[in-house]
Amino acid sequence: MRCLLARGGAKRNPGLGIQRSVSLQGQYVPKKPISRSLRVRLSGLASLVKVLECLAVGLSVSHLSKHFEMGSHRVEVLRNISMEMKRSESVAVTGPSGSGKSTLLHCLGTLTPPSSGTVQIEDENPFLLPEPKLAKFRNRVVGFVFQDHHLLPQYSVLENTLMPALAFPTPGLDVEQRARELLHRVGLSHRLDYRPGLLSGGERQRVAVARALMNSPRLLLCDEPTGNLDLSNAEMVADLLFELHEEELTILIVVTHSQALADRFARRYEIREGRLSREA
């Protein structure tokens, strides 16, 4: 039995074999086992911390604009966009082709810097970071799912899922176990050694979802994630996105032309001529 150290160094009683600690007054203070009531309180505290994390603003966009210079002509793509999202929140973004939906995702995902305005993720403006640190930030904090799965054909399902964790390895982290768990959750534990060419379209997109979550990102960005799938596979991938979003407590932003997918979100935005407006 170990003893609680009030202040001072630890000593061992050779006769009893009991670890003890000496206070300044020379008294032994035995360490008591954690009671059931304390365990309940600690569990409640952990739940409270989780709730507070969900209430914290994880993404803040302020007056974001983006334009491109085409010779002497300036093309305004995004105009004065502002929004906030807490962890565990989700939103769908719709709009006609060429309205700026993908450009918005690229700015939020730190792939493209805004022309003006700010993007803050977890209270950090990533565009103030030098390129090497920005790349690491993006790798750790942002996950992407695109319309095309972008799996590497020469690698297996397991190896493709592992790719984000190999760019900036974390010592001591069992990344292969994490990848196996994710693939089990997306229903592909029986396909670990398969190459992408042997998978169906829905299976390839499920691998892409697992890969996007590999590093437990705070922000999950999906650009037409069901656009290349038939109705059955589209519903399966959509179900999977919502399920894993709730389990992982990500901020989920989905750009889509699918009204059926957009209708599943309680919060929806529309982009027209580069302006973002919330749907009623």
CATH of the domain at 208: 3.40.50.300
- Residue 36 has a pLDDT of 67
Q: Is residue 61 part of a domain?
A: no
- Residue 271 has a pLDDT of 95
Alpha carbon distance 50, 249 (integer Å): 9
122: domain range? Answer: 67-278
Low-confidence residues of the chain, pLDDT below 70?
A: 1-57, 280
The upper half-sphere exposure of residue 115, i.e. CA atoms within 13 Å in the direction of its Cβ, equals 14
**What is the chain's Cα-based Rg?**
24
β-strand partners of 64: 81
How many other β-carbons are positioned within 10 Å of the β-carbon of residue 57?
15
Phi and psi angles of residue 271, each rounded to the nearest 5 degrees, phi first: -110, 130
Is the CB of residue 114 less than 8 Å from the CB of residue 172? Answer: no
Is the CB of residue 256 less than 8 Å from the CB of residue 225? Answer: yes
Is the whole-model pTM more than 0.95? no
Q: Is residue 45 part of a domain?
A: no
Is the CB of residue 188 less than 8 Å from the CB of residue 160? Answer: no
- Residue 39 has a pLDDT of 63
Token duo for residue 227: 């656009």
Q: Is residue 7 part of a domain?
A: no
Q: Is residue 252 part of a domain?
A: yes
Q: Is residue 62 part of a domain?
A: no
How many domains are contained in the chain? 1
